[in-house]
Amino acid sequence: MSNKDTDSGLDFLESPEGLAGELTKFEKSIEKNRNIFVIAGGAIVVALAGWFGYHYYVSSQDEQAQAALYAPVFAFETDSLNKALKGSAGNPGLTNIADEYGATPAGNLAQFYSGAALLKQGKFDEAIEHLKSFSSSDLLVQARAYSLIGDAYMEKNSVEDAISYYQKAVDYKPNAYFTPSYMIKLGVAYEKAKKNTEAIEVYSQLIEKYPQSSEVLNAKKFKGFLESAAE
């Protein structure tokens, strides 16, 4: 859709004269349809009050969730996984925060940390559940979540599911810093699935698109093994 199309009907917002004209037309419309506007206006006020009330609730809940996250995230970073997940000494654990504050950004982040911690503990199904509940438009974390889900599926020997999530990680906002590592995982998963042609293609793309990556040496090595085996 062109800018012209998207701006259509909104030019008056940039012009004081145009805005005044629109307000005049709106006032005449109100006089002509007073009863309708009174009813509709009441409904709008109720809707706005509900929206602002919910927004305030979520904001206040998020502040509480952010404060609660500090202790379990610190525990996670120091590999105290049980303490991170279950909490201690009056501090809630990651899973409790995810359940109680799930509608907030901090609660959403608790889903990610819960999944990562459960994956480290070898609780793959629970890890997958939490990581799938996480969503973000962030450049890095969403792709990381997809990759961790792929790791969990690989541990479960569900290779096709792993391939699917590694591919999501590769496709999500590609960048030179993290995408190459996801491509290596994708290639290895293809190899495990006996899909060597697809694995070679992934390694070739990595070498071509990210020649400065530290993963290039591995990509060349793995690709060379597969090509030699095919001869």
Q: Where are the domains of the chain?
A: 18-127, 136-231
Confidence of residue 104 (pLDDT cuts 50, 70, 90): confident
Q: Supply φ then ψ for residue 78, to 5 degrees.
A: -100, 15
Q: For 39-43, 84-88, 186-190, 211-215, which range has the lowest pLDDT when averaged over its residues?
A: 39-43
Mean pLDDT, all residues of the chain: 81
CATH architecture of 136-231: Alpha Horseshoe (1.25)
70-89, pLDDT tens digit by residue?
A: 888 889 888 999 999 999 87
Distances (CA, A) of 142 to 103, 146, 166, 183: 17, 6, 12, 15
Which residues, other chains included, contact 54 with Cβ-Cβ below 8 Å and sequence gap of 6+? none
Compute the average pLDDT of residues 117-133: 97
Using CA atoms, how far apart are residues 205 and 191, in angstroms rounded to an integer?
A: 16
Amino acid at 111: Q
Regarding predicted confidence, which is higher, 40 or 194? 194
pLDDT of residue 67: 82
